[in-house]
Amino acid sequence: MSDNWSIARFSRLAELLRTHRTSDGGVTFNVVARDRERLGQPDSILSRLDETEFDELWLFAVDDGDGLTPEDCGGITRFRQAGRGLFVTRDHMDVGSSLCSLGGVGKAHYFHTRNPDPDQSRRVTDDPFSTNISWPNFHSGANGDFQAVAIVAPTHPVLADPDSPTGAIRFLPAHPHEGAVDAPNDEPARVIARGKSKVTGRSFNLAVAFEPSIGGGPAVAQSTFHHFADYNWDTRLGCPSFVTEPPGNGMQTEQQALRDAHRYSVNVALWLAGVT
């Protein structure tokens, strides 16, 4: 495993989806988990994604702005325009900023130097502890802990949980510096969940859902890939050496938090595939 956020750092998510079963015991998802090919060159799958038989793409943007080539963006955009599902997530500051080149969903992601939040008041540092990281960097808690989720009514299908006393997901993994997402005004999209900074008390958006339309298939823009990383589900699984913030263990001591993270992941995969 490389000392970075490679796809190997999301092995628990891949296992969760691969082992999920339908009511009659059948396989629900066939999962292909891979890193992109060499940076700076079109990826052989992403650049021609619209020509494949995949139903949905989960894109974890861990790059510094160079993760997608124009050809990759074109293939992904055509893929969604054909009605297929897209999940796109990133992290703080400019991590994952190559997403800005994606049609539609790319506009939901705000970064430090590319597509910054139009609200000037939100272009401020929220997490003061990691001094090398600037806005957007909303502090929802330590890696390994969980955060409470504020549902934006009406409850979206990806957040529904009939086993919950509220009928919805209540928790997601926390992260010391989450990115910023919002619903573009010219898209059939809305904010569906919010978090709250444990430092400033500021509310911030966790997820934006794009409804299927003539412009494209269903999509979700998420504030950080840490909601799905092995390390954030169980810190005992390790992290890259540059992650130095003190971790928590709330995801292990509060089992409902881990169950909610699992249910949310499955909900998203089902919804993107057109199953609600």
The 10s digit of each residue's pLDDT in 197-214 is: 999 999 999 999 999 999
Whether the pLDDT of residue 8 is over 90: the answer is yes
Whether the pLDDT of residue 58 is over 70: the answer is yes
Would you state the pLDDT for residue 158? Answer: 98
Give the mean model confidence (pLDDT) for residues 115-129: 96
Whether the pLDDT of residue 1 is over 60: the answer is no
Would you state the pLDDT for residue 22? Answer: 86
- Give the chain's mean pLDDT: 96
The 10s digit of each residue's pLDDT in 225-248 is: 999 999 999 999 999 999 999 999
Would you state the pLDDT for residue 192? Answer: 98
**Backbone phi, then psi, for 109, in 5-degree steps?**
-105, 125
| pLDDT band (50, 70, 90) for residue 220 | very high
Give the mean model confidence (pLDDT) for residues 167-180: 98
Would you state the pLDDT for residue 178? Answer: 98
Would you state the pLDDT for residue 2? Answer: 80
For the chain, domains (ranges, CATH) are: 7-272 (3.40.50)
Predicted TM-score (pTM) of the model is: 0.97
What is the percentage of the chain residues whose pLDDT exceeds 90? 93
| pLDDT band (50, 70, 90) for residue 275 | confident
Whether the pLDDT of residue 217 is over 70: the answer is yes
What is the percentage of the chain residues whose pLDDT exceeds 70? 99
| pLDDT band (50, 70, 90) for residue 114 | very high
Whether the pLDDT of residue 149 is over 70: the answer is yes
Angle at 243 between CA 194 and CA 2, to 5 degrees: 110
The 10s digit of each residue's pLDDT in 80-109 is: 999 999 999 999 999 999 999 898 899 999
Would you state the pLDDT for residue 103? Answer: 80
